[in-house]
């Protein structure tokens, strides 16, 4: 029999679960909400799996009370949701929609009444469509001011109760998948625009933080930061070239967005390789960006091996879509065929999570880290009212064990949010991927806790779990 070891987390560790507005709310044009770029994208034929959209989504807009009750049953201390900008300001820059404010007020009050701390993300990819069509979206430098204004509306109306703010969710995805590969809204394909868009996203983040710090933080007493996503990159061999390739890949992924905040500018590798196509920060922007995150928000899902590619040689990179602009990096990415895979075809590699946390600790001076997303999609089915998802439990046990090891190694990890509270609209993949701890029947919209949710309840109640010590270590 395998000896099970009790893994207990620090007493103030935050257990949570996460969602985002467009993925769950539905009510796309209810009570004054206007379309976002994701509504338009999903309604463009051929953009999503089976042309699915989230007009109804999980109908969370009407079922939030039931959802909060399910969260409370799961024992989470915190819930990370995002605010739909076009519900608050339908055209992104003008009038405030009182009914939109009322919805989030009700949700926040319901959470607090159930002992759950609200964590609000201001931007999870659903830009008001009018800002795209009339103002050129994230390519327009003016957007930093529009975003700061919207953010200040949120601080003003919700900041008396919301004290955990995340400005942007995964700007890398907006830049690369939205403007590089065009698979996400607004569906543009370019080798240059991702760098321009990333630049404006960073400036917008900094301006929203400046607004919070100048006008709200003292009286409201909250914290504010950004959430970036990053997979781990393990050198394929011990050669210097592969080690450099893995490091380069991480710098193009996470360093792109975190270096300006923690180290004052883009990584040198990016400056060298991207040259004039990489915008430069003004002195003012640099100063605003430096130290503009009170914590390090991290979304992490998987790992790939990285190896060096000869720029003059033949390119055989099947997974470089996951890596950013290949031509600027020349890194080949591969998975290990031995890894168990999720239904996204992402390898389950817990040790990569520990290594990434340690990389962040080393590069950025041991900041407080919140894992604001981690989880897996599986082909879940409901049978006799039950959803048996042992692989999800194994996934979570593995990644939480890695987190525990990282904490033991001095990483200042303070929170863990499972993605996701319930199955939802998985962007271009529509409803075909189920990431939830709760199963959603899209015909009836009924929610059922999966077995992993019942397990997670034990974890949140015991502040830890018994883990089989048979995990692969590297």
Which residues contact ligand GAL by CB under 6 A? 20, 23, 169-170, 173, 229, 299, 373, 419, 426-427, 435
Nearest distance from residue 169's CB to ligand GAL, in Å?
5
53 or 135: CB nearest ligand GAL: 53
Nearest distance from residue 348's CB to ligand GAL, in Å?
14
Nearest distance from residue 234's CB to ligand GAL, in Å?
20
Q: Catalytic pick from 247, 251, 373, 426?
A: 373
Residue with structure tokens 């969710």?
A: 169
Q: Catalytic pick from 25, 110, 170, 405?
A: 170
Nearest distance from residue 372's CB to ligand GAL, in Å?
9
439 or 465: CB nearest ligand GAL: 439
Nearest distance from residue 172's CB to ligand GAL, in Å?
9
7 or 177: CB nearest ligand GAL: 177
173 or 325: CB nearest ligand GAL: 173
CA atoms of 383 and 392, how far apart (whole Å): 17
Nearest distance from residue 64's CB to ligand GAL, in Å?
18
Residue 228: strand pairing partners: 298
Give the contacts of 444 (CB within 8 A, at least 6 positions apart): none
152 or 229: CB nearest ligand GAL: 229
Nearest distance from residue 115's CB to ligand GAL, in Å?
25
Give the contacts of 75 (CB within 8 A, at least 6 positions apart): 15, 456, 457, 460, 461
Residue 93 · residue 59 · CB < 8 Å: no
Task: Count other C-beta atoms under 10 Å from residue 241's C-beta.
Answer: 13
Told to judge if 170 belongs to the known catalytic residues of this protein, a careful annotator would answer: yes
Q: Which of 258, 368, 355, 360 is CA-nearest to residue 304? A: 355
C-alpha 439: how far from its chain's center? 21
Nearest distance from residue 13's CB to ligand GAL, in Å?
22
328 or 426: CB nearest ligand GAL: 426
- B/e letters for 434-461, b = 16+ CB within 10 Å, e = fewer, are bbbbbbbebeebebbbbbbbebbbebbe
169 or 322: CB nearest ligand GAL: 169
171 or 350: CB nearest ligand GAL: 171
216 or 296: CB nearest ligand GAL: 296
Told to judge if 373 belongs to the known catalytic residues of this protein, a careful annotator would answer: yes
Residue 49 · residue 84 · CB < 8 Å: no
CA atoms of 263 and 443, how far apart (whole Å): 49
Nearest distance from residue 170's CB to ligand GAL, in Å?
5
Residues with catalytic roles: 170, 373
């Amino acid at each position: 029999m395998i000896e099970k070891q009790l893994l207990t987390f620090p007493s103030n560790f935050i257990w949570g679960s996460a969602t985002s507005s467009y993925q769950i709310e539905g009510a796309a044009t209810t009570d004054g909400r206007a379309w976002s770029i994701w509504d338009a994208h999903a309604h463009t034929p051929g953009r999503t799996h089976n042309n699915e959209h989230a007009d109804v989504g999980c109908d969370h807009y009407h079922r939030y009370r039931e959802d909060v009750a399910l969260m409370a049953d799961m024992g989470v201390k915190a819930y990370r949701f995002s605010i739909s900008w076009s519900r608050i300001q339908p055209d992104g820059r003008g009038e405030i929609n009182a009914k939109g404010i009322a919805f989030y007020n009700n949700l926040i009050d319901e959470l607090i009444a159930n002992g759950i701390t609200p964590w609000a993300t201001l931007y999870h990819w659903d830009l008001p469509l009018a800002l795209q069509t009339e103002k050129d979206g994230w390519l327009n430098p003016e957007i930093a001011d529009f975003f700061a204004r919207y953010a200040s509306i949120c601080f003003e109306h919700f900041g008396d109760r919301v004290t955990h703010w995340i400005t942007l969710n995964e700007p890398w995805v907006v830049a690369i998948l939205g403007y590089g590969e065009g698979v996400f809204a607004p569906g543009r394909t370019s080798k240059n625009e991702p760098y321009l868009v990333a630049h404006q996203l960073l400036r917008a983040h900094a301006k929203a933080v400046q607004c919070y710090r100048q006008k709200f933080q003292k009286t409201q007493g909250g914290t504010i930061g950004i959430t970036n996503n990053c997979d781990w990159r393990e050198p394929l061999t011990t050669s210097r070239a592969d080690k450099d390739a893995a490091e380069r890949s991480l710098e193009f992924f996470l360093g792109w967005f975190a270096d300006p905040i923690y180290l004052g500018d883009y990584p040198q590798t990016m400056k060298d390789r991207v040259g004039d196509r990489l915008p430069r920060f003004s002195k003012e922007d640099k100063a605003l960006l430096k130290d503009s995150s009170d914590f390090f928000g991290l979304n992490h899902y998987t790992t790939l091996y990285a190896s060096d590619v000869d720029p003059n040689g033949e390119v055989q990179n099947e997974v470089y879509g996951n890596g950013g602009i290949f031509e600027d990096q020349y890194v080949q990415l591969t998975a290990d065929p031995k890894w168990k895979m999720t239904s996204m075809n992402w390898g389950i590699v817990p040790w990569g999570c520990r290594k990434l946390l340690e990389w962040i600790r080393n590069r950025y001076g041991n900041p407080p880290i919140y894992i604001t997303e981690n989880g897996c999609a599986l082909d879940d089915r409901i049978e006799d009212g039950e959803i048996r998802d042992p692989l999800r439990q194994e996934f979570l046990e593995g990644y939480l064990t890695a987190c525990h090891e990282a904490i033991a190694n001095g990483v200042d990890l303070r929170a863990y949010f499972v993605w996701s509270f319930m199955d939802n609209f998985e962007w271009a993949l529509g409803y075909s991927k189920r990431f939830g701890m709760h199963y959603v029947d899209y015909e009836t919209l009924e929610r059922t806790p999966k077995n992993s949710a019942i397990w997670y309840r034990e974890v949140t109640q015991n502040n830890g779990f018994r883990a089989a010590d048979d995990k692969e270590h590297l």
